[in-house]
Amino acid sequence: MKFELNSLPRNCSKEEIIAEIKRVDYLVGKDKLTTYDFDKFAKISSSAVRRKFGGWENALIVAGLDHKYSGIVVTEKMQQQSKHLTDEEVLNELKRIAKELVQNFVTQENINSLSQIISASTVVYRFGSWEKGLEKAGLENSPGYKRKFSDDEYFENLLNVWTYYGRQPKYGEMGKTPSVISSKAYENHFGTWRKALEAFVRRMNQDDSNTDNFPKKEILEQEQAIDIRSRRKNTTVEERRGIGIGLRYKVLSRDKFKCVKCGASPATVSRCRLHVDHVIPFSKGGKTITENLQTLCENCNLGKGSRFYE
């Protein structure tokens, strides 16, 4: 099963983009079509649309949806107006966005895309730094704020968000729970959001029959007195307990990102966590192959062990 992006091709025409704008507008079904809502459902990012048409408003005009333009993008004029807000009003706006997102933190991207009265720069200017503004609002920094992540951590986080939604996540969704790495961080690390997705695609499509990216720490713990290099050359993925990210994605996708026992999924059940687990336990000779792996929610996986096969 080859993994592919659910997106418009990079060289898509303006006509294809216009058709996509109209499709998403129908799905959203609101009086206004914001870039935030567009990025939730579209097969192309709103930033790519803006580049193609010279702005979001221009794109909506060409699509015959000029009446759907909300004008909520924080302009220079709005930033000037924000100077007249009190500190308390600025802090209340931070709290409002956090409450809307149902989380105890907000990112600068969240503010720039969701607030109609302030921008992230407003917070920095008013309180001296982004961190101080959040502290005064009683909020926390996002889990991944200013952290340096490895490629594997970027991919793990993306797979986690993909599992949460049961589909390819949108740019704007990477700034919300359960993601701990912002979309801006993906852009900075990979060049663009699409390049980040393409890198993820390449990783998912790696041949799982070859030696997997098995964590060195686990290898050392399990094979302390063995020549690591020799063992890794002769050990196939199916003979290892660890399940690589590519194999996990294949199993999750095959099981439609739902628990095969009760049907629960993070997209429909609050706080649902999915695990990829061996059907026949590894300790009983079960192989790490797709046929012997299944998706289980945390509740169904509790208590499951090799005793069921004794």
Provide the residue-wise pLDDT of the chain in tens; the chain has 310 residues: 555 667 787 788 999 999 999 999 998 888 888 887 887 788 888 878 888 888 888 899 999 998 888 764 445 555 556 678 899 999 999 999 999 888 888 888 788 777 878 888 889 889 998 899 999 999 988 777 767 889 999 999 999 999 998 888 888 788 777 888 888 889 889 988 888 988 998 888 874 444 344 443 443 344 444 444 444 444 555 667 788 898 999 999 999 999 999 999 988 887 888 999 999 988 888 899 999 999 999 889 885 544 444 3
Check: CB of residue 273 under 8 Å from CB of residue 170.
no
Question: Comparing C-alpha atoms, which of 179, 78, 71 is closest to residue 120?
Answer: 78
Q: d(Cα 76, Cα 20) in Å, to the nearest integer?
A: 30
Burial of 271 (0-12, 13-18, 19+ CB in 10 A): exposed
Burial of 274 (0-12, 13-18, 19+ CB in 10 A): buried
Q: Tokens for 197?
A: 């997705």
Q: Cα torsion for 215, 218, 219, 222, to the nearest 10°?
A: -160
Q: d(Cα 173, Cα 65) in Å, to the nearest integer?
A: 24
Position 236 scores a pLDDT of 58
Neighbours of 133 (CB within 10 A): 24
Position 65 scores a pLDDT of 92
SS3 state at 171: helix
The pTM score is 0.59
Burial of 10 (0-12, 13-18, 19+ CB in 10 A): exposed
CA atoms within 13 Å, Cβ hemisphere of 255: 27
Q: Would you give the end-to-end CA distance of the chain in angstroms? A: 33
